[in-house]
Amino acid sequence: MSENVKEILEWFYCIVIALVLALLFRYFIATPTIVQQRSMYPTLKHDERLILDRTFRITRKKPQIGDIVTFEAPSKDYEKWNADQSNPIAIYDNEPTNVFSKFVYYCLETTKKSYIKRVIALEGDHVKIENNTVYVNGIPQDEKYLSDDVVTESSVFYDFIVPEGYFFAMGDNRTKSTDCRNIGCIPFEKLEGIVRFRFWPFSEFGKID
């Protein structure tokens, strides 16, 4: 084998290894993301850049109430007529089936739609939404992150217990948010990242509460 060929192969191996390490870091440690929705306003604004913590995929640590998270968007929304308060779970029935499409969907994430919301309740919690108030286990929530004019209503899922292995999340901009009130509770396995801090714009750089 000529020296030129050996050098080309060495570069090729280095590039492949670097790409694999980058994908592993992005999947298991952290990745940047761009806010493309207005459902978390005023906490998050359109086009802001965030860092998602993904170490939970290694530690198996679950998000906490109040955390802002991203998760895979379900394939369907519920309507009032087909929402079962005793089974408030999100529907996922359009996931890829072959190896290549799974790689693109789960690793590259170029074909995946995601939502960004705030965790309101965890498995076993009783959630009730009435009179513009969210109750968790009978306790009215003091949601200081909401704008004063925000109204919290739901005619789909409004009185239920979060199933085991799931969490309930809503956007801070309640009237402009498609969230668990309409799509059901999200399985932890569909969690994609926990928002830790904002790096753009620089004027807003820092940890996000």
Quick: pLDDT tens for 108-125. 888 889 999 999 999 999
pLDDT band at 80 (very low <50, low <70, confident <90, very high): very high
C-alpha distance across the termini of the chain, in Å: 58
Integer CA distances (angstroms), 129 to 83, 118, 149, in order: 15, 16, 17
Least confident residue range of 21-30, 93-102, 147-156, 166-175: 93-102
pLDDT at 150: 92
Is the pLDDT at 1 greater than 70? The verdict is: no
Percent of the chain whose pLDDT exceeds 70: 99
Mean pLDDT of 187-206: 93
In the chain, where the domains are located: 3-207
Q: Which residues are catalytic?
A: 39, 117
pLDDT band at 107 (very low <50, low <70, confident <90, very high): confident
Say if domain 3-207 classifies as CATH 2.10.109.10.
yes
